Amino acid sequence: MECYITVLMVIIITIIWPCLHFFIFPNLLLLPMIKRDPKLTKMPPGPHPYPIIGNILKLGQKPHQALFNLSKTYGPLMTLKLGSLTTIVISSSQIAKEALTTNDIVFSDREIPDIIRALDHHKVSVVWLSASSTKWRTLRKICAINIFSPQKLHSTRVLRHKKVQELLNFVHMKSTKGEAIDIGQVAFTTVINSLSYTFFSMDFDHYYSPCDDGSSELQNNYKELMQDIMEESGKTNVADLFPVLRLFDPQGLRRKGEEYTLRLLRVFNSIIDERLRLRASNMDSEEAGGDLLDSFLSLMEVHDSAELSRHEFLHLLVVSIYI
């Protein structure tokens, strides 16, 4: 142990201290002499940040309550320093409307969490792309026409009705037996099956134990995978507060994000390959032919992948099924 301490002291004396002496300290002395742009210093009021960590300690264990209490002091528009990130907090519906509706394009860009950078998901995601980019406008147009248009929503209503009826049947069966129901788990199963059935004409979860219906192991364990994704995504990432640490991924969240995303892409790829095989052999069922996967495959065939590549479609599925 003494040897390690000695080596550390040698490093500090021979490397770190000279750097501080010749580079950092002179720059600190020159800071008051540098003229700053008034536009850059005109920020909303906020608590004075501590060095390095900023206002992180102000958030405490209940950030939503802490922000509410801070807004009483600094107003509905305030500035917080979270690590090395400057954050603007809006706590007024009127200001939020002005920022998110009136000036939505100006405020559309956002800080991308490091876990979202797994497999470069942020570069092809309609959620994280800049609203000023051509790629975002193309993906938004595709989603508006093929997912959210009144015609598409109307054509897939039968699929959603089927999933709701399954929920009612399950609740009725449980009530008849006098058994308890986990509302959270049942709601999750209904929502995820409504999405997966609309996209793929198959269920990704089960009210009962996984059944042997030809589903892959990943499909049968989809709930566990989604819970893992939500748990990791909800963790505070030091690399988000201090972007200089992204290179090191100190908590391993980006690595886990890559692992989970790869598992999702793997099951989506297998479903797409199977559907392409069925389409090629003209064996695709009428039921499957009415889902969104069939619509997107037809779109890619017509435009020869000019508007939507398979890679972009896979990441679009990640956004649609997850978010």
Per CATH, the number for 123-322 is 1.10.630.10
User: What pLDDT is stored for residue 17 in this prediction?
Assistant: 45
User: What pLDDT is stored for residue 321 in this prediction?
Assistant: 64
For the chain, the C-alpha Rg in angstroms (whole number) is 26
Rounded Cα gap, residues 66 and 54, in angstroms: 15
User: What pLDDT is stored for residue 131 in this prediction?
Assistant: 81
**Quick check: helix, strand or coil at residue 89?**
strand
User: What pLDDT is stored for residue 242 in this prediction?
Assistant: 92
User: What pLDDT is stored for residue 77 in this prediction?
Assistant: 94
User: What pLDDT is stored for residue 34 in this prediction?
Assistant: 47
CB 258 within 8 A of CB 119: yes
Which residues contact residue 41 at a Cβ distance below 8 angstroms, ignoring those fewer than 6 apart?
none
**Alpha helix ranges (H) inside the chain:** 2-11, 17-19, 25-30, 38-41, 56-59, 63-74, 93-97, 134-146, 150-155, 157-177, 183-200, 217-220, 222-233, 238-241, 253-280, 292-302, 310-322
Tens-level pLDDT at each residue, the chain (323 residues)? 444 344 334 334 444 445 444 444 444 444 444 455 555 568 899 999 999 899 999 998 899 999 999 999 999 999 999 999 999 999 999 999 998 888 888 887 788 899 988 888 888 888 888 888 888 888 888 888 887 888 888 888 888 899 999 999 999 999 999 999 999 889 988 988 888 888 888 888 887 765 555 555 555 677 788 888 888 888 889 999 999 999 899 999 999 999 998 988 888 898 899 888 888 887 544 444 568 888 888 877 765 555 678 888 888 887 766 65
Of 316, 314, 275, give the one whose Cα is nearest residue 294.
275
